[in-house]
Structure 1
């Protein structure tokens, strides 16, 4: 999958995947969604982002999880 809006620079944010070279990590955007914010609220909070940036961050995160095939452990 090709991600045009996601950048990784070892000299920026510890090499964490960020959006368009900004100092806004993908993980920050995903956490905002997890906290219940919608795309409009995120763009309002982080005005350097667009709605398309938010959606690409979510697609990137989903692909990262898919690549790792993280096992789910169920409590007994």
Structure 2
């Protein structure tokens, strides 16, 4: 999964937090919704602009960030 196709970081959007391209939905928002029990279908129903690939990109971004933190320590 090449999450860069779906996630962008811009200083003028959500204070530079990683967000889904074309939205103001942050990666953190999606991860938080999933961790609180929302399904992918729930998220897509609430936010029509979000796709399965975008949700998978958020998970891939988080996994990559975690891997980078572990390899630095």
Shorter-chain TM band = 0.7 to 0.9
Q: Is the CA contact (8 Å cut-off) linking 1:6 and 1:21 kept in structure 2?
A: no
More relative contact order in 1 or in 2 (CA 8 Å, sep 6+)? 2
Give CA deviations for 1:39-68 in whole Å, capped at 9, x if unaligned: 111111111111111111111111111111
Aligned length: 70
Gaps of 5+ in 1: 71-76
Q: Which residue of 2 aligns with 1:69?
A: 70
Q: TM-score, normalised by structure 2?
A: 0.86
Gaps of 5+ in 2: none
Q: Which residue of 2 aligns with 1:24?
A: 25
Runs of 4+ in 1 over 3 A off after TM superposition: none
The answer to which structure has the higher helix fraction is 2
Q: Is the CA contact (8 Å cut-off) linking 1:8 and 1:15 kept in structure 2?
A: yes
Q: TM-score, normalised by structure 1?
A: 0.83
RMSD of equivalent CA atoms: 1.6
